[in-house]
Amino acid sequence: MKRFKGLSLLLSVLLVLSLGTLAFSQEKGVIEIFSWWTAGGEAEGLQALFDIYNRLYPDVEIINATVAGGAGAHAKAVLKTRMLGGDPPDTFQVHAGKELIDTWVKTGFMEPLTDLFESEGWVEVMPKGILDIVSYEGDYWSVPVNIHKANVLWYNKQIFADNGLNPPQTFDEFFEIADKLQEQGIIPFVLGTKDGWEAAHVFETVLIAKLGAEGYSGLWTGETKWSDPGVTEALETFKKMVTYVNPDHAAFTWDEAYEYIIDGKGAMSIMGDWVAGYFFSKEYTDFGWVPVPETAGIFDALSDSFGLPKGCKNRDNVINFLKVLGSKEGQEAFNLKKGSIPARTDINKDLFDDYQKSVMEDWEKDVIVPSVMHGAAAAEGWVTEFKDVIALFVARPDIEVTQKALVQVAERAGVAQ
């Protein structure tokens, strides 16, 4: 009898324990995930992460809080209002680098994630260059989900073949090709400027071309002055490029403008490799790519990441989402759709498109520089002013006035000129 009692006690303890674990893995409630990923490729990448999360945590409802507008053109302002108003989303998209550290970490809005990085083994599988830009004072502050390359010139292969052209390696070649295409009634250089940041993106890559990796990086630290003749040259080059764009550029967002390439009406365009994701989503395969002229061997880099804001309502659900983001499965599923490459180095390269394989190689051998338009190089206030000055330049291309304005913007950002 005694033995029976002992056994049944043991059984009930085991039952309670197993129910306990079961209940523990059954996360409930909601998770609000804030981002600007609404365009083709971006939306599919995000959905791929949600699919994994839903499979693992079927009882948690995902609130997909997106604010459309590439580069966070509109999302960042909404995020700021919510964060300052004490209503943070559970987790939000933020660029690794200055945008993360200066805007949200130094100001005390985020929780460190160092324990998670260690328990999940991310410290071993993510490159130092990426770990560095999510670090501050010895802690890790957000989970990088990808690496994007920003200095890519995309082109319609058919148009190039039909006109016997090779993609340009220098700006002289770029302008020669542009003249030939214009004669054929083809838009030489496709641009959409509706959200106000796209021209600045292109200009950033021209700065890299004209100043080189070191000169460009120095712009954000004060080592290169904004009065540098290289900046003048970049403005001259960019001014000329704008004379070849589709006249209706102000009506289109970055992704809408790429319809010109897909339709065979436009030949070349400069943008980051979310464009690859966009092409995948449209099942368009006839695209070619080269580095932006005069930037071969340089990788203009950025990384999207998500963190844990202090005071978020569903902390445990966020931790689980971050685990998905940082996992091998999550990084593969997301990046296959997004056009970027995983931040983890232990992924299966064979799964990826030729374009992405080429970027994986570039990442290994190129000189890496931080993208300014996508939060890696400078604090948000500077980025905003920089983009506004360049947006104005497209409408009123006065080189002297613009260069002076860029000098003043840098000074206001606290970088002596």
Provide the binding-site residues for ligand GAL, judged by CB under 6 A.
36-37, 42, 70-72, 95, 148, 274, 302, 304, 374
CA angle (415 as vertex; 412, 417 as ends), nearest 5: 95
> Which of residues 253 and 314 has its CB atom nearest to ligand GAL in the complex?
253
Residue sitting closest to ligand GAL (CB) = 70
Work out how close the CB of 149 gets to ligand GAL at its nearest, in angstroms, rounded to a whole number: 11
In DSSP notation, 215-278 reads HHHHHTTTSS-TT-HHHHHHHHHHHHHHTTB-TTGGG--HHHHTHHHHTTSEEEEEE-THHHHH
Instruction: Supply the minimum distance, in Å, between the C-beta of residue 259 and ligand GAL.
Output: 16
> For residue 400, what are the contacts with CB-CB under 8 A and spacing of at least 6?
none
**∠ at Cα 193 (188, 194), nearest 5°?**
140
The answer for residues whose C-beta is within 8 angstroms of residue 211's C-beta and 6 or more apart is: 218, 219, 224, 228, 230, 231, 234
User: Residue 98 or 402: which CB sits closer to ligand GAL?
Assistant: 98
Backbone angles phi, psi at 252, to 5 degrees: -120, 145
Closer CB to ligand GAL, 71 or 368, in the complex? 71
Query: Which CB atom, from 40 or from 212, has the smaller least distance to ligand GAL?
Result: 40
- The count of residues in the chain is 417
- What count of other Cβ atoms lies within 10 Å of the Cβ of residue 388? 15
Report angle CA 231, 209, 146 to the nearest 5 degrees: 115
Other C-beta atoms lying within 10 Å of the C-beta of residue 271? 26
Distances (CA, A) of 74 to 18, 196, 243: 47, 10, 28
For the four alpha carbons of 114, 118, 119 and 125, in that order, the dihedral sign comes to positive
Residue type, 280: F
Dihedral pair phi/psi, residue 410, rounded to 5°: -65, -40
Minimum CB distance to ligand GAL smaller for 37 or for 220 = 37
Non-local CB neighbours of 144 within 8 Å, separated by 6+ positions: 96, 126, 130, 134, 303, 304, 305, 343
Least gap, CB of 84 to ligand GAL (angstroms):
21
For ligand GAL, give the closer residue by CB, 159 or 376: 376
Q: Kindly report the backbone phi and psi dihedral angles of residue 217, in degrees, each rounded to the nearest multiple of 5, phi listed first.
A: -60, -35
Q: Distance from CA of residue 93 to its chain's centroid?
A: 9
Element (H, E) at 384: helix 380-395
Distances (CA, A) of 19 to 6, 9, 13, 15, 351: 20, 15, 10, 6, 39
What's the distance, CA 149 to chain centroid? Answer: 8
> Which residue number, 198 or 362, has a Cβ lying nearer to ligand GAL?
198
